[in-house]
Amino acid sequence: MKTKTEKMEMICIVCPLGCKLEASQDEDGRIQVTGFRCPKGSEYARREISDPRRILMMVVRVRGGHLPVVSVKTAEPIPKNVLRDAVAAVSEIEISAPVKAGDLIVNDLLGTGVPVVATNNIRKIEA
Per-residue pLDDT tens over the stretch 84-103: 999 999 999 999 999 999 99
Indicate whether 1 pLDDT > 50.
no
At 41-98, the pLDDT tens digits run 999 999 999 999 999 999 999 999 999 999 999 999 999 999 999 999 999 999 999 9
Contact between residue 118 and residue 71 where contact means Cβ atoms under 8 Å apart: yes
Pairing label, strands 78-79, 69-74: unpaired
- pLDDT tens, 4-14? 567 899 999 99
Residue 112, pLDDT above cutoff 80: yes
Dist. CA 1–CA 3, nearest whole Å: 7
Residue 21, burial from CB neighbour count under 10 angstroms (0-12, 13-18, 19+): buried
Dihedral pair phi/psi, residue 83, rounded to 5°: -60, -45
15-32 confidence digits (pLDDT tens)? 999 999 999 999 888 999
* pLDDT at res. 109: 98
CATH 3.10.530.10 for domain 57-118: yes
Parse the chain into domains and list their residue ranges. Answer: 5-51, 57-118
